[in-house]
Structure 1
Amino acid sequence: MLPSWLPPAVLDLTQAPELEALHGELLRQWASSEVWRLSYGLRSVIVKRGTDTQSGEGAAYERFVVPLNLPAPQVLYTGGEVLVLEDVGRVTLEQAPTAEGFVATAGLLAEIRTAAVDGPSEFPPERVKELAARIGRITFDMAPLTEALALLHEQAPSRVVHGDFVPKNLVTDGVRWTAVDWPLAHLAPHLSDLYTLVREAVALGHDRGPIVAQYVASSGADPFLVDRQILVGGAAFCLRALDFVITEGLQTIPESAEWVDPLLAELADLVDQLS
């Protein structure tokens, strides 16, 4: 059964005569977000409703995606918590996790990161202390991360961070790759997006080297700086993930309680590497 909150705009966009004529495919359903693919004949759209941390996608499009022409689905309709988006493909990197796909999406990330944008970093060094205090379970010294992040702000400009650059959010139509799901986008000089991409690839048995090499070649970045950006970005990812679990995830995704200890161990290892 289709959800009751669908906007009437989906009929115009799919050219369906009535809602009952639409075929609906539920792609994701969490307490904070719900995503459907709606199709009629050969026409299809993606409809999303987001709350809490998932409610910021419209703002991310206005700030970054549209003005910078980033590789994201086109917004076809927006109204309140609901977005209707272009359907950019039916296969994600999660569904087809090939080595070639990981390398290709590293190039996609380079396209996002080389888009020049004005604005201050939204992950400054003081953010480390703020998040650590909110999380409340960090028992090791975070000074190496704070210092590395401060230095990174001197060495690299702030660029768009997707914030959830993982295989389930990387979609292909067989020709090109597109990044979807932008509510966590922000500005920062670190490379948490490349960290999460590599992290997933290595977990599947792929080599890290070609993925990072593709990013470096496509972006023209200094490989030594990129390595530092990845480390700092990994720690930033862990902090943001832990903050989400503690402040929201425990209520909306009960199984997220099992993520805390592994994330703390991962963060400790990254901070140790920065020492």
Structure 2
Amino acid sequence: MLPGWVPRAVVLEALAAPGEDAVHSELLRQWGSSEVRRLSYGLRSVIVKRGSDAQAGEGAAYERYVVPLGLPAPELLYGADEVIVLADVGRVTLEQEPTADGFVAAAELAARIHGGTVDGASGFPPSRVKELAGRIDLDLELEPLVEALDRLHREAPLGVVHGDFVPKNLVTDGTRWTVVDWPLAHLAPHLSDLYTLIRDAVAVGYDRGPIVARYVEVSGADPFLVDRQLLVGGACFCLLALTFVIEEGVRTIPGSEDWIAPLRAELADLVGQLS
């Protein structure tokens, strides 16, 4: 039986299935804040997702950013409230097969995403640094980050930030790469997406040089500006991640409390480089 929250009519039509008893359900992720399943019949499959808290905004992100800008994301087949149905874009992630070519291809995607132009206010103004730090009682001197972020807002255009641009969210069908999981998308002038991509590439032994070079080539950006956008983006990512883990993750993701100390140390190091 399919879970009660699955929109049956939409799924059965997309799969051309005769009934829900014929549909195979594969659980891909189940946290307190989200559940993701692959539903299949014959050679057809779709992805169904239910999200709450920070994971509930994916439909809105599609409406505001993904669809108007044609970003490299799965096609949205259905979206209502906290439930969405997406086209299945592949079964292999960059986390499962972390190849050098995969990381370079992902840099191209990051350039395409951040290069999208859309009207709207920044989702990460300088004031948000102090707001987030205050919410979690973070005892760090963050004024260098506030100043650097303020300068970026004056010198760099706002671009779409995916917000969780990590190998598990980069999927391939063997021909092309696609980015999944968009509920955290927002506008900002920093490059936290490129930062997290490089961070994970270095962790598995690859050099950051070709990844940055590919981003600069595709985006046409100033390499010196990119370097600053990376530092600021890394610090913003760590601050957001800390806030999420402390406020929500410790309730919904088993073991996430172990992420707090390393994220705090990483944030302190990045802010130190901005001083």
Which band: TM-score by shorter chain? over 0.9
- Cα displacement (A) at 1:82: 1.1
Compute the TM-score of the two structures, normalised by the length of structure 2.
0.98
CA displacement at 1:265 relative to structure 2 = 0.3
Q: Determine the C-alpha separation between the residues in 2 that align with 1:196 and 1:252.
A: 22
**CA shift at 1:86, angstroms?**
0.6
Q: What are the residue-to-residue correspondences of 1:186-201 with 2, within 5 Å?
A: 186-201=186-201
Counterpart of 2:195, as a letter, is Y
CA distance in 2 between partners of 1:21 and 1:151 (Å): 57
Are 1:216 and 2:216 matched, yes or no? yes
Distance 1:175 1:243 in 2: 36
Give the Cα–Cα distance (whole angstroms) in 2 for the partners of residues 246 and 172 of structure 1: 32
One-letter code aligned to 2:154: E
2:149 pairs with 1:178: no
CA distance in 1: counterparts of 2:250 and 2:26, whole angstroms:
27
**Which residue of structure 2 aligns with residue 251 of structure 1?**
251
For structure 1, the residue ranges without an aligned partner over 5 or more in a row are none
Aligned match of 1:76 = 77
Q: Distance in 2 between matches of 1:184 and 1:160?
A: 10
Task: Report the Cα offset of residue 184 of structure 1.
Answer: 0.1
More displaced, 210-219 or 252-261?
252-261
Specify the alignment match of 2:25 in structure 1. Answer: 24
Q: In structure 2, how many angstroms separate the alpha carbons of the residues matched to 1:199 and 1:163?
A: 14
CA offset at residue 254 of structure 1?
3.7
Aligned with 2:228: secondary structure? helix
Structure 1 segment 254-265 matched on structure 2, within 5 A? 254-265=254-265
Answering whether residue 92 of structure 2 is matched by residue 88 of structure 1, we say no
Q: Report what 1:123 is aligned to.
A: 124
Corresponding residue number in structure 2 for 1:154:
154
Aligned counterpart, 2:141:
141
The question of whether the paired residues in 1 share the 8 Å contact of 2:238 and 2:266 is answered with yes
Q: Is the 8 A contact 2:38 2:45 kept in 1?
A: yes
2:120 alignment partner, SS class: coil
| Amino acid across the alignment from 1:19 | E
Render the CA deviation track for 1:158-187: whole Å, top value 9, x for unaligned.
110000000000011111111100000000
| TM-score, reference length from structure 1 | 0.98
Given residue 2 of structure 2, which amino acid in structure 1 is its aligned partner? Answer: L
* Cα deviation digits, residues 175-214 of structure 1 (max 9, x gap): 1111100000000000000000000000001110000110
Amino acid at match of 1:263: L
Q: Percent identity?
A: 72
Cα deviation per residue 1:24-62 (whole Å; 9 max; x = unaligned)? 111111011011111111111011111111000000001
Q: AA paired with 1:124?
A: P
1:53-64 alignment to 2 at 5 Å? Answer: 53-64=54-65
Higher alpha-carbon deviation: 16-25 or 181-190 = 16-25
Q: Which residue in 1 is equivalent to 2:102?
A: 101
Q: How many residues end up aligned between the 2 structures? A: 274
Provide runs of 4+ in structure 1 moved above 3 Å.
none
Query: Match of 1:203?
Result: 203
Is 1:37 matched with 2:38? yes
Distance in structure 1 (CA, Å) of the matches to 2:219 and 2:243 = 30
1:165 aligns with 2:168: no
The alpha carbon displacement at 1:137 in A equals: 3.0
Deviation at 1:145?
A: 0.5
Give secondary structure in 2 for the equivalent of 1:246. Answer: helix
